[in-house]
Amino acid sequence: MDQPFPPSGLPRTARLFLPMALSAVLLSACVTTSETSTPSPSADGTPNSTETPSNEISPVATSTYTASSEGTNLRFSIISLERISEEMVVLSIAIKNEGFEDAYVIFSLSNVNGQQSTPDGVSLVDTVNQKRYMPLKLTDGKTCHCYSWNGKELLASGDSINAWVAFPSPPPEVDKVAVTTPVTPDFLDIPIIEATGTKEEIAQTPVGEPQILDLRAFQDDIESGTSRADSSEENQVILSSDVLFELNESDLTPEAEEILKGVAEEIDTSSATTVHIDGYTDNTGDDSINIPLSEARAESVRQALEELVTRDGIQFETAGHGSNDPVGNNDTEEGRRKNRRVTVTFAK
């Protein structure tokens, strides 16, 4: 169900938990090179130290976010990306509080529906092969094969956390990747180096099936309410429900017709024989409201596209998912807006 979100409705601690919701100033990542040694996880899979990294250690790349209203200034540093076996690489990260007051880092690097206090929202991007590598999970299929700072979420001024996360290994010929996180600009051209120190326990830990995704080029047009997440094989148009529909309604607005005309033209010129239309809501309300609303909205888009598409032989399939599969944080106004959407997916 759609529900307007109060602009200042979060308490102080919640705003610190959710850095992406803040009016943050994200500074561009600056890449440096280093030939010095880097901190390595110990035999039990945890970093050797949770203290501030030594001044002698130069990170590969750094990025910060600043929230002036809270005095929060966290520095995220990529320490190293090491190939510890043919199947696994390990990324080492440092998070330092450079602000003047304590900062909560509980959700800083976690996935939207992932594990709190872990870097399971970090990914590696292989731009050569157009692949995104997600963190490895243990054999339970849920637990990230990574360091957890559970119990250390409150980071005092000047303190830091060293964390690591394991990924499927890119092909041997790939020697650089980009690193993406939920709270920083992308770290570009991070070199993959051979492992230093002993990481046998990490390498030998049983893990589940690797998750390697086709890379999608994402474009976000806030004014039009239309975003894209295209891959090499298919197009995905993400339509904002706030533009397509009135609050809690499934009848298309006048603005929606012009937007859907453009989508129909793309479908006409594509090779698609099947078009998938999926509706989603934010998490206000419950499934008894959200799922029927998302289904009705997907159906309205289907009816409009069937009339607008001129090419024969195209089948339309619709589904409503309610608040499942969020792409934004439902505790923030911006995140809830992103989650209220209808996606149209079809082959190129």
Of 51-55, 248-252, 330-334, the range with the highest mean pLDDT is 248-252
Question: Which range has the worst mean pLDDT, 197-201, 275-279, 313-317?
Answer: 197-201
Do 64 and 189 fall into the same domain? yes
Is 234 found in the same domain as 203?
Answer: no
Q: What is the pLDDT of residue 99?
A: 84
Q: What was the pLDDT predicted at 34?
A: 35
Q: Provide the whole-model pTM.
A: 0.54
Residue 75 lies in a domain: yes
Whether 197 and 66 map to the same domain: the answer is yes
Residue that finishes a domain, picked among 162, 188, 214? 214
Average pLDDT, the chain: 79
Whether residues 182 and 230 share a domain: the answer is no
Shared domain for 164 and 261, answered yes or no, is no
pLDDT at 154: 86
**101 and 196 within one domain:** yes
Residues 119 and 185 in one domain: yes
Higher-scoring residue by pLDDT: 165, 336: 165
Same domain, 194 and 223: no
Between 271 and 28, the more confident residue is 271
Specify the pLDDT at position 167. 97
**Least confident segment among 66-70, 124-128, 258-262, 305-309:** 66-70
Question: Residue 242: which domain range?
Answer: 217-347
Q: What is the pLDDT of residue 332?
A: 82
What is the structure's pLDDT at 104? 83
Residue 6, in any domain of the structure: no
SS (H, E, C) the chain: CCCCCCCCCCCHHHHHHCHHHCCCEECCCEECCCCCCCCCECCCCCECCCCCCCCCCCCCEEEEEEECCCCEEEEEEEEEEEECCCCEEEEEEEEEECCCCCEECCCCCCCCCCCCCCCCCCEEEECCCCEEECCCEECCCCCECECCCCCCCEECCCCEEEEEEEEECCCCCCCEEEEECCCCCCEEEEECEECCCCCHHHHHCCECCCCEEECCEEEEECCCCEEEEECCCEEEEEEEHHHHECCCCCCECHHHHHHHHHHHHHHHHCCCCEEEEEEECCCCCCHHHHHHHHHHHHHHHHHHHHHHCCCCCCEEEEEECCCCCCCCCCCCHHHHHHHCEEEEEEEC
Last residue of a domain, one of 214, 240, 256: 214
Q: What percent of the chain has pLDDT over 70?
A: 76
Of 159, 179, 214, which residue is a domain's last?
A: 214
Same domain membership, residue 119 and residue 16: yes
CATH number of the domain that 223 lies in? 3.30.1330.60
Question: Same structural domain for residues 233 and 176?
Answer: no
228 in the same domain as 191: no
Domains: count for the chain: 2
pLDDT the model gives residue 52: 32
Q: Is the pLDDT of residue 232 over 80?
A: no
In tens, the pLDDT along 186-223 reads 888 999 998 877 688 999 999 999 999 876 655 555 55
Residue 70: pLDDT band with limits 50, 70, 90: very low
Residue 184: predicted pLDDT: 84
**Residue 209 and residue 152 share a domain:** yes
The pLDDT tens digits of the residues spanning 24-65 come to: 222 333 333 333 333 444 434 443 333 333 333 567 656 554
Does residue 281 surpass a pLDDT of 70?
yes
The residue with greater pLDDT, 30 or 3, is 3
At residue 191, the pLDDT reads 93
Q: What is the pLDDT of residue 241?
A: 92
The answer to whether residue 3 scores a pLDDT higher than 70 is no
Band (pLDDT 50/70/90 cuts) for residue 245 is very high
